[in-house]
C-alpha cells in the first residue's frame, strides 16, 4: 500500500476523512438510492460504478434525476482492475451468488483457519485477523445466512465463499454496532426482515411474547422486486390489485427465523406471507403475537419505547396511532405501533419502513457510517416525503 493511501486510512475518524466508494450493481433501484444518499454525504467520494447491462453509459442516462452530479460512468464488473483502484468501501448491490466472487477476491478467503499466523478459534479472532483495507457492505443475500447449506437450499445455488461466512456480520444497525465497526464484511438485512426484526427482537429478548406463535403479514411496494424487466411487475399486472407471493417459501423466511432464534435463545418457526402492493415504495408488516403471562400491549409498547428511545431512526408511535408507509417514504425511519389484540392474550404490532432506504440502501449507508467511525446519521437526516 502506498504511503498516501496508508496515511489517509490511518485517520478513519477525522472530520476531514473522506471515504472512496465503489458501488457494484449500481444501475438498479438500490444502486440509485445509494447514489441519491451518498452524493450529499460530506465524507464520501464515489470513484467506481459498475452495471453490466449499462456499461459505458453515464449516470445521466440511467438516473436522469442525478445527471447534474459529477459521477463516473458505469463500467462492467468484469473490467474492473482492483489492483489499480484505491477504494475504502465497496457496496455490493448485485444479484445473489455474485458477491461471493467479489468478496473472495478482495478479502483473501484462501486464508481460511490461519490468518497471518494466528490460529482462528472464534468469530472475534477471525474478524480481528482479516485485512482492514477494504470494507464490503453487501446488500445482496449472499452472506446473511450463517448456515451455508441453508443458503444453498433457499437460493438454489452453492455458497461459493463459505470460508468467508464466519466473518460476516448481520448488519441490522441498531443491534450490531460493535461488530459492524470491527468487521470488513457486513451483510445488510433484507427489507422484510428489517421491518419484522426491529420490533420483534427486543420483545423476544425480554421474554414478553411467545416465540412459538408469531404471524407476520407483510406488504411491499413494487421496487422490492428489483428494476429488471419482469412480466409480473408490469403496470397492468400490479395496479388496481394486491397479491400474495412466496407463500410459506419466501427467501427472507430463514433470515427472519435465524435472527429471531438468536434473540429467543433457540430455534424459531414463524408464519410469514409477503404481498405485493400497487405502490412504488414501502413495507408494512402487521405482526400478530401471543403475549407472555402478565404482559399486555402497554408492556410491549413500554419495552420498545425504552429500547429505541435513543435511536435516531426507530420510533414507537403513541398509543392508538397506526403508522403508515406514507409516513416514512424516502426516509431511513422505522415507525412501530402496538395495539391490544381482539383475542385475549394477544397483541398486534405494526412496523413500517421505506424498503429502498431503511430496508436497503439507507441501512447500508448507516452501516458505512458505523464502520467508518462517522456520525451514524450522516446523509440520512432527510425527513419523509409527504404526501
Residues annotated as catalytic (active site), given as ranges:
191
| Alpha-carbon 124 to chain mean position | 22
d(CA 95, CA 53): 13
Q: Are 325 and 221 in contact (CB under 8 A)?
A: yes
Give whole-number Cα distances, 366 to 137, 180, 188, in Å.
10, 10, 10
What does the DSSP assignment read for 221-242? -GGGG-SS--GGGSHHHHTT--
In sequence order, which ranges of the chain are alpha helices (DSSP H)?
A: 3-10, 29-38, 59-62, 99-107, 123-129, 148-155, 177-182, 191-205, 235-238, 253-264, 297-308, 362-371
| Alpha-carbon 101 to chain mean position | 20
How is residue 70 written as a grid cell?
459529477
Cα-based angle 123, 124, 127 (whole degrees, multiple of 5)? 85
Amino acid at each position: 500500500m502506498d504511503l498516501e493511501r496508508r496515511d489517509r486510512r490511518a485517520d478513519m475518524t477525522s472530520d476531514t476523512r473522506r471515504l472512496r466508494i465503489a458501488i457494484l450493481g449500481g444501475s438498479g433501484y438500490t444502486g440509485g438510492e445509494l447514489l441519491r444518499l451518498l452524493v450529499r454525504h460530506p465524507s464520501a467520494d464515489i470513484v467506481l460504478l459498475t452495471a453490466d447491462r449499462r456499461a459505458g453509459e453515464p449516470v445521466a442516462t440511467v438516473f436522469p434525476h442525478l445527471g447534474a452530479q459529477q459521477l463516473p460512468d458505469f463500467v462492467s464488473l468484469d473490467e474492473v482492475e482492483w489492483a489499480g483502484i484505491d477504494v475504502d468501501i465497496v457496496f455490493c448491490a448485485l444479484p445473489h451468488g455474485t458477491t461471493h466472487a467479489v468478496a473472495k477476491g478482495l478479502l483473501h478467503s484462501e486464508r481460511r483457519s490461519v490468518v497471518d499466523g494466528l490460529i482462528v478459534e472464534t468469530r472475534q479472532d477471525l474478524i480481528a485477523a482479516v485485512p482492514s483495507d477494504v470494507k464490503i457492505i453487501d446488500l445482496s443475500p449472499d452472506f446473511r445466512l450463517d448456515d451455508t447449506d441453508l443458503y444453498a437450499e433457499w437460493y438454489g445455488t452453492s455458497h461459493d465463499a463459505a470460508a468467508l461466512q464466519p466473518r460476516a456480520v448481520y448488519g441490522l444497525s441498531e443491534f450490531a454496532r460493535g461488530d459492524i465497526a470491527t468487521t470488513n464484511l457486513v451483510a445488510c438485512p433484507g427489507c422484510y426482515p428489517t421491518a419484522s426484526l426491529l420490533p420483534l427482537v427486543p420483545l423476544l429478548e425480554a421474554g414478553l411474547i411467545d416465540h412459538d406463535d408469531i404471524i407476520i403479514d407483510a406488504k411491499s411496494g413494487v421496487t422490492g422486486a428489483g428494476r429488471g424487466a419482469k412480466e409480473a411487475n408490469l403496470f397492468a399486472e400490479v395496479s388496481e390489485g394486491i397479491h400474495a407471493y412466496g407463500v410459506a417459501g419466501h427467501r427472507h423466511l430463514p433470515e427472519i427465523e435465524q435472527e429471531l432464534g438468536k434473540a429467543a435463545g433457540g430455534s424459531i418457526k414463524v408464519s410469514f406471507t409477503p404481498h405485493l402492493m400497487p405502490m412504488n415504495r414501502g413495507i408494512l408488516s402487521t405482526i400478530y403475537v401471543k403475549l407472555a403471562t402478565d404482559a399486555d400491549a402497554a408492556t410491549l409498547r413500554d419495552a420498545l419505547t425504552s429500547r429505541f428511545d435513543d435511536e435516531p431512526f426507530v420510533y414507537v408511535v403513541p398509543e392508538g396511532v397506526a403508522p403508515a408507509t406514507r409516513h416514512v417514504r424516502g426516509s431511513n425511519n422505522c415507525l412501530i405501533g402496538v395495539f391490544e389484540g381482539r383475542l385475549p392474550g394477544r397483541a398486534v404490532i405494526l412496523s413500517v419502513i421505506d424498503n429502498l432506504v431503511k430496508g436497503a440502501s439507507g441501512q447500508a449507508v448507516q452501516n458505512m457510517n458505523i464502520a467508518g467511525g462517522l456520525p451514524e446519521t450522516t446523509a440520512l437526516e432527510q425527513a419523509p416525503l409527504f404526501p
